[in-house]
Amino acid sequence: MTSKAKRQIKKAEWFFDWNKEIGQSDRQVFKLVIRNNETIIQGLISISDYKDHIYMHLIESAKFNKGKTKIYLGVPGNLVAFACKYSFKKGYNGYIAFDSKTKLIQHYQDSLGAKWFKGTRMYIDSTAAKKLIGQYFKI
């Protein structure tokens, strides 16, 4: 993420401390913006390359994309699809892993096609990754 993009992230607008996340040397933070309007960040994702899959540390929609009055639907799904696409690009067959809050495990199974591994660890395999990419990206 560029320093210009980093300045766009104001702590008061996000639940997570994204500037701290950007400072982690083992992580990459990507922003979701609308075509022709890169000044407004719709969502953020932090990922790491674990050499056989992509690990998703954090994901967050902008405040105005949360709740019943959200402006855009599908921001989290779009970011997860991006991580899956990145996994394919790296040669990991779309596999990504992440830890879920217990109450969201079923939601991620239903909405993302994620599978439970153990504890709160979940993963998305090639089949689910292809489906998400097809849903959010023109191939």
pLDDT tens-digit readout, 80-122: 999 999 999 999 999 999 999 889 999 999 999 999 999 999 9
pLDDT value for 123:
98
pLDDT value for 134:
96
* Burial zone of 118 (CB within 10 Å; 0-12 exposed, 13-18 middle, 19+ buried): exposed
Tell which residue, 103, 30, 127, 59, has the closest CA to residue 114. 127
Q: Which two tokens stand for residue 136?
A: 């959010």
Q: Rounded distance, CA 68 to CA 29, Å?
A: 26
For the chain, the average pLDDT equals 92
pLDDT band at 11 (very low <50, low <70, confident <90, very high): low
All domains in the chain, ordered by first residue: 3-136 (3.40.630.30)
Could you tell me the CA-to-CA distances from 136 to 23, 74, 82, 97, 131 in Å, in that order?
29, 9, 8, 19, 9
Mean pLDDT of 15-31: 92
pLDDT reading at 63 higher than 60: yes
**Could you tell me the pTM of the whole model?**
0.91
pLDDT value for 77:
96
pLDDT value for 4:
59
Tell which residue, 50, 47, 74, has the closest CA to residue 61. 74
pLDDT tens-digit readout, 24-47: 899 999 999 999 888 899 999 999
CA dihedral for 108, 94, 29, 62, sign (positive or negative): negative
Q: Rounded distance, CA 19 to CA 14, Å?
A: 10
pLDDT value for 2:
57
* Burial zone of 102 (CB within 10 Å; 0-12 exposed, 13-18 middle, 19+ buried): exposed
